[in-house]
Chain A
Amino acid sequence: MSIVVKNLSFTYGVGTAFAKKALDDINLTINDGDFVGIIGHTGSGKSTFIQHINGLIKPQEGSVEVFDISLTPAKKPKPDLRKLRSSVGMVFQYPEYQLFEETVYKDVAFGPKNLGLSAEEIEERVKEAIGLVGLDYDAIKDRAPFELSGGQKRRVAIAGIIAMRPKVLILDEPSAGLDPYGKEQILNLIVKLKEQCSPTIIVISHDIDEITRFASRIVVFNDSHVAYDVPMTELFEHQAELVEMGLDIPQAVKIAKALEQKGIVFDQPIVSLSDLYKAIVDRYNSIHVDKNAFDEEENH
């Protein structure tokens, strides 16, 4: 088990007139190899939650265990934050806003350097990371990050995180603000990273359609609580709960539900548009193959 969160609570501005509870008794386990999609309204606590996983916020109550590092409200023993941050990579919203070095190479090397690696190892990792995010290492390494396009900048920023070779990768709204093409590329990149870089991935997104494209498990934060935690394949049966929380259900689920009302029920669970596409094609073909067979029989 990669991450075990127990009874985690957190309040901003404790003791002021503006105190606000962000997390209330969160219990959640994330297993090795999980591909988790987290959704929730703005202010539901999801960002506060992931900041705990990376040791960016110290727990006020409860505990977070990431691999063998334990984070608790206690002052001692001090957790090994460097080790934690090398195993949990965190890509914040609009990560291109963190770029600061004069060349792409230096920026991607910032993380590995902080880990205290040797120059050769750093170079190897930077090369690998830039390649993984789909950029041409030799063409881009000496360019200034600020002169790249929006989508490229974001990929450079992501390369800076995966160059630390995290075992868990957390991405907060990875496709926000990109145009459809840039979005498509980032979403494909995430799937690729799951296969080739980081075995466990957590993605926060507002857009449930986006999450249905890759996640195998969906967690919903609502009002500082974990309100919903189901495998993606069960989302179709549990869609009513999402509607109750005022959240969107995936477009494919909406269409499949509408078809169900007209008497067209699919055998397989429908979550993403590609599920729906396959189901429709299968059904169409089976009807028409059967019909063709029937026609042939009649001819005999």
Chain B
Amino acid sequence: MSIIKLSNVFYTYNKDTEEQVHALQGINLEIEEGSFVALVGHNGSGKSTLAKLLNGLLLPTSGSVNIYDMDTTNPSTIYEIRKNVGMVFQNPDNQMIASIVEDDIAFGPENLGVPREEIIERVDWALSKVGMLEHKKGTPFKMSGGQKQRLAIAGVLAIKPRVLVLDESTAMLDPQGRREVLSVVKQLNQDEKITIINITHYMDEALDADRLIVMNEGKIIDDDTPKNVFSRYAQLEAVKLATPPVTGLAIKLNQAGIPIDTNITTQSELVEKLCQLL
């Protein structure tokens, strides 16, 4: 079932001035419940604008955004939408409001007026889902980026959303932190059936997704399985994107005249193929 429906969405920044920026230009998109979608594009392609439309942080200039059949422009259901679509942002330092971990996680449910006993349950549940339960009484100040970002996810989980949007949430993390965040997100998708929309510019993150959407200049230019999208690598390069390193190597080898498939995405696939050839 489609839970997110965007029809003919346009978004323009500085609409009433001369410095208009047309960030989104006619987006049509449906996302199925429980799916894991990766959305890629270089900086300025409109992907973050799209993210902010999904929980009504931004409202479309024209067209409509429907979440669980609720229109984001309807003020009476906006909190119902935000309860269902959780969002994690880029900078792990700018999302926490309290100095003690558990206080921060409790912030969302407190805002919703959840009874005290249930808040305590939710805090423990959310922290255990991101593997940070032992830091419950701690402070984020000395934590790594990956840990802070997992806390940000827990803060959103405590609202019990059905959709989790990651708006370049791994861009500022080191490789270790990225792995931590991605494995948490994958688990949430598998165990809790939470729909994941991962907005990123790391192509290797797209490998975890079952659907890859490529954006350029405010438009969707490709929408397919990651393997199929990577096989159209020339198109990706044209919009300043790259394939994952393993695929990139396979493509280069292929171009050098070695008969190897260009849709290889994992190391084991590559090694297996090379063993036959070398």
Contacts and interface: CB of A to CB of B under 8 A. Distances in A.
Interface residues of A, number: 33
B275 A264 contact: yes
B242 A42 contact: no
B249 A259 contact: no
A106 B201 CA distance: 32
A180 B249 contact: no
B241 A180 contact: yes
Given A182-B43, A287-B278, A177 B267 contact: no
B275 A280 contact: no
A284 B258 CA distance: 8
A179 B200 CA distance: 9
Interface stretch (A194-202, A224-232, A250-258): A250-258
B234 to A, nearest CB: 15
B240 A181 contact: yes
B171 interface: yes
Contact of A273 (B43, B172, B245): B245
Interface in B22-77: 42-44
A276 B258 CA distance: 14
Interface residues of B, number: 33
A26 B277 CA distance: 47
A14 interface: no
B275 A259 contact: yes
B174 interface: yes
**Main DSSP-derived SS at the B contact region:** helix
Contacts of A179: 42-43, 201, 240
B256 interface: yes
Q: Which among B245, B248, B268 has the highest number of chain A CB atoms within 10 Å?
A: B245
Contacts of B252: 277
B174 A206 contact: yes
Contacts of A206: 174-176
Interface in B258-278: 258, 267-268, 270-271, 274-275, 277-278
Contacts of A43: 142, 144
Nearest to B244: A251
Contacts of A151: 43
Nearest to A180: B242
Contact of B249 (A181, A258, A273): A273
B143 to A, nearest CB: 9
Contacts of B144: 41-43
Q: State the 8 A-B residue pairs at the shortest beta-carbon distance, nearest first.
A: A206-B174, A181-B240, A179-B201, A258-B271, A179-B42, A179-B43, A180-B242, A262-B275
6 contacts: A181-B240, A184-B242, A255-B246, A258-B268, A277-B252, A277-B256
Interface of B: 42-44, 142, 144-145, 171-172, 174-176, 201-203, 240-242, 245-246, 248-249, 252-253, 256, 258, 267-268, 270-271, 274-275, 277-278
